[in-house]
Amino acid sequence: MLRTAALYALALAAGAFLLQWLQYNYFVRAFSTEIYIALIAAGFAALGVWAGLRLGRRPASATFEKNTAALASLGITLREQEVLALLAAGKSNKEIAQKLGVSPNTVKTQIASLYQKLEVQRRTQAVQKARELALIP
What is the per-residue pLDDT across 68-115, written as a single tens digit (0 to 9) for each?
888 888 899 999 999 999 999 999 999 999 999 999 999 999 999 999
**Domain limits for position 52:** 2-56
Give one DSSP letter per residue of 67-135, joined into a string: -HHHHHHHT--HHHHHHHHHHHTT--HHHHHHHHTS-HHHHHHHHHHHHHHHT-SSHHHHHHHHHHTTS
Is 128 a domain residue?
Answer: yes
5-38: per-residue pLDDT in tens?
787 788 888 888 877 877 777 777 777 777 778 8
Is 61 a domain residue?
Answer: no
Do residue 73 and residue 127 come from a single domain?
Answer: yes
Do residue 89 and residue 123 come from a single domain?
Answer: yes
Do residue 125 and residue 84 come from a single domain?
Answer: yes
Is 13 a domain residue?
Answer: yes
Is 62 a domain residue?
Answer: no
**Total number of domains constituting the chain:** 2
pTM exceeding 0.75: no
